A = this chain, B = another copy of it.
Amino acid sequence: MDQNARVSANIKLVAEAAGVSRATVSRVMNGRSTVAPELAERVLAAASALDYAPSQVARSLALGRTSTIALIVPDLSNPMFQDVLRGLSQAAGEDGHRLLIAESNEHVEDEEVLALEARRRCDGVVLASPRLPTADLERLAPQLAPLVLINRKLPGVPSLSVDYAAGIQDLVAHLLSLGHRRIVYLAGPPASTSNRDRLDALLRLSQEGREFELIQVACGAMFENGHAVAGGVAASGATAAVAYNDMVAFGALSGLHELGVSVPGQISITGFDDIPFARFTTPPLTSAAVPRNTLGRRAWEQLRSQLDGHDGGGSADFRPRLLVRGSTGRTAEG
């Protein structure tokens, strides 16, 4: 019969029920200016009687602000993005903002329209897009502002990056101190910028100091990839393996275990990321801890300062923290 009872009440109904104007209802709902106590009470009574709650969509339109931000990531199964998501969600939530999330499933070609679509529903964007060509990103960035980039740098756009080179440097220094002089790199996806960063750092280190020999093995980013190259690692004659990330390191660990190669007895292994399970493998994995959650929180702070009109306060690099665990040890000769 009375469908209106089911459909959520609007401001007009409340105004009529309370015998006031819509403006007054709005003022009461927002605690604005001064409304006579008696009127305010009537409005609140009517609102609660009608189960009224202001439409956020209408507010957003009128205010020109949605109190929502978007996170765009290539892949939600990646622990990196999961933690950035959490940090971002929590930090933004504490400041009364909601989080819209969009996943491109690694379809780079969709990322641009996905990002623009998302941007039109909210006030700002945090974009993690490791694969998007720089030229596309440059064209896209101004349309997405306010924008914070994760692990990408672009002039004039605030970004938060992990200093992979520094992390690699720490890992290598650690391995060198243990006597390793022949190190194999289990490379990540060739198209990935972060793989590029790691590789460049390794090449530079091996050439500058001439303290160790670098071997490269094409691998990937998954457990299975690391598992598959275990034989090659064992045959390479290297005494230490630097894996693209923890997952690959786990795979290698498992593969070497099956081959009867002892870690760290015969080969030392390092991961990268310090994902939650790195502490729980046998042996526990030496890794470089990326402050992922912090990254998410800082992304929100960056975005908030832009939303507040304070021009983007620049970029930041996060140096991973070296975590020495059981998977690395002294060489036999060392």
A113 to chain B, nearest CB (A): 10
The residue that A121 contacts in the complex, of B56, B76, B143, with Cβ under 8 A, is B56
A55 to chain B, nearest CB (A): 7
* B101 contacts A101, C-beta separation under 8 Å: yes
CB contacts under 8 Å to B, within A93-112, are 93, 98-103, 105
* B93 contacts A103, C-beta separation under 8 Å: yes
A57-B65 Cα distance, complex, nearest whole Å: 9
* B57 contacts A66, C-beta separation under 8 Å: yes
**Is A134 an interface residue when CB atoms closer than 8 A count as contact?**
no
Q: Which residues from B are CB-within-8-Å of A58?
A: 61
Instruction: List the B residue with the shortest CB-CB distance to A6.
Output: B142
* B76 contacts A82, C-beta separation under 8 Å: yes
**Copies of the chain in the assembly:** 2
* A57 contacts B55, C-beta separation under 8 Å: no
A108 to chain B, nearest CB (A): 15
**Is A34 an interface residue when CB atoms closer than 8 A count as contact?**
no
A281-B257 Cα distance, complex, nearest whole Å: 12
Contacts A55-B120, A68-B100 given: A85-B93 contact, CB under 8 Å?
no
Contact mask for chain A residues 209-228; partner B; CB cutoff 8 A; 1 contact, 0 none? 00000000000000100000
A186-B85 Cα distance, complex, nearest whole Å: 31
Q: Which residues from B are CB-within-8-Å of A89?
A: 76, 101-103
Q: Which residues from B are CB-within-8-Å of A99?
A: 100-102
A250-B281 Cα distance, complex, nearest whole Å: 10
The residue that A68 contacts in the complex, of B51, B85, B121, with Cβ under 8 A, is B121
Which residues of A are in contact with B by a Cβ distance under 8 Å?
51, 53-58, 60-61, 66, 68, 76-77, 82, 85-86, 89-90, 93, 98-103, 105, 116-118, 120-121, 143, 223, 250, 254, 257, 277, 280-282
15 A-B pairs besides A100-B101, A257-B282 with CB distance below 8 A are A53-B120, A54-B120, A55-B61, A56-B121, A58-B61, A68-B100, A76-B85, A82-B82, A85-B101, A89-B101, A89-B102, A98-B100, A98-B102, A254-B280, A280-B281
12 A-B pairs with CB atoms under 8 Å apart are A51-B143, A53-B120, A55-B120, A57-B61, A61-B61, A76-B82, A76-B86, A93-B103, A98-B100, A98-B102, A98-B118, A98-B121
